[in-house]
């Protein structure tokens, strides 16, 4: 049995919300898309990504192909517009089928797995600071405060299709698993240890956990749009 909760919030410093999401237990599809704040029409790009993913997955396409079709749709619309700046968005997706799960992502929206009392980040940020961490140039703690921490190296609609890396992970579902999908509006303000403490509270429903996490991000400063989805396997 799947239980899930979801919420999005504009944050405390933004005029509008460029995040969007989808939460669909019948389709077994959950996703977060964060429109690029440095580009015009980020909210349009994230909506195109959402709608394309839902349509393509519903038609039976696998996640990688569905994400690439979303990228193509964003680029196609961007090419029709007169503005100089392209539209862009990150994407983080969870698909559940039978006893299996698939995760796909582009950019720095994240997917976490809570299992056996521990929180693990399944996705790896496509970002400049993550590359520095991987190279050993800076620590993960230094990355949290790096001046270029919001610079992504991959995004739908921005990265050329030939260079786009749609990364995936797969696994078997087990009772007690929790999958957290979120935009960086959460992870900018709330550290992983604090996220883990919320997910560990078994007395809370999934929706209550989501609301606690959104409030924590707002308490932390709410510097960006905040989107959180939590999917529990009972």
How many domains are contained in the chain? 1
Q: Are 155 and 165 in contact (CB under 8 A)?
A: no
Listed in sequence order, the residues at least 6 apart from 197 whose beta carbon sits closer than 8 Å to its beta carbon are none
Q: Using H for helix, E for strand and C for coil, what is the string for 64-116?
A: HHHHHHHHHHHHHHHHHCCCCCCCCECEEEEEEECCEEEEEEECCCEEEEEEC
CA 76 to chain centre: 23
Q: Could you read off the pLDDT of 121-139 as tens digits, one per residue?
A: 999 999 888 888 788 888 7
Domain CATH number, residue 22? 3.60.40.10
Listed in sequence order, the residues at least 6 apart from 22 whose beta carbon sits closer than 8 Å to its beta carbon are 29, 30, 31, 50, 53, 54
3-state SS assignment for residue 194? helix
User: What's the pLDDT at 39?
Assistant: 55
User: What's the pLDDT at 84?
Assistant: 60
User: What's the pLDDT at 146?
Assistant: 79
Q: What is the mean pLDDT of the chain?
A: 93
Q: Is the whole-model pTM more than 0.85?
A: yes
> Among the listed ranges 95-104, 106-115, 146-155, which one has the minimum average pLDDT value?
146-155
Segments forming the whole domain that contains residue 218: 2-233
CA distance linking residue 217 with residue 225, whole number of Å: 10
Q: Are 169 and 122 in contact (CB under 8 A)?
A: yes
Give how far Cα 166 sits from Cα of 88, 105, 159, 188, 196, Å: 15, 6, 11, 23, 27
Listed in sequence order, the residues at least 6 apart from 111 whose beta carbon sits closer than 8 Å to its beta carbon are 92, 94, 103, 105, 121, 122, 123, 179, 180, 181
CA distance linking residue 52 with residue 233, whole number of Å: 26
CA distance linking residue 32 with residue 227, whole number of Å: 7
pLDDT grade for 74, boundaries at 50, 70 and 90: very high
CA 73 to chain centre: 19
User: What's the pLDDT at 175?
Assistant: 96
Residue 217 has pLDDT above 80, yes or no: yes
């Amino acid at each position: 049995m799947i239980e899930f909760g979801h919420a999005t919030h504009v944050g405390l410093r933004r005029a509008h919300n460029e995040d969007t999401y989808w939460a669909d237990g019948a389709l077994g599809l959950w996703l977060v898309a964060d429109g690029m704040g440095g580009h015009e029409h980020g909210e349009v790009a994230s909506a195109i990504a959402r709608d394309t993913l839902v349509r393509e997955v519903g038609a039976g396409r696998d996640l990688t192909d569905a994400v690439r079709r979303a990228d193509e749709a964003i680029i196609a619309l961007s090419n029709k517009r007169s503005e100089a700046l392209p539209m862009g968005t990150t994407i983080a997706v969870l698909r559940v089928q039978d006893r299996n799960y698939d995760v796909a992502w582009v950019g720095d929206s994240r997917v976490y797995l809570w299992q056996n009392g521990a929180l693990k980040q399944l996705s790896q940020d496509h970002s400049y600071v993550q590359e520095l961490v991987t190279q050993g140039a800076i620590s993960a703690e230094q990355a949290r405060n790096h001046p270029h921490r919001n610079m992504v190296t991959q995004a739908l609609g921005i990265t050329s299709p030939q260079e786009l890396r749609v990364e995936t992970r797969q696994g078997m579902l087990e009772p007690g698993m929790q999958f957290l999908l979120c935009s960086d509006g959460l992870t900018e303000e709330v550290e992983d240890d604090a996220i883990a403490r919320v997910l560990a509270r078994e007395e809370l429903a999934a929706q209550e956990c989501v609301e606690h996490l959104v409030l924590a991000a707002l308490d932390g400063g709410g510097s960006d749009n905040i989107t959180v989805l939590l999917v529990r396997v009972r």
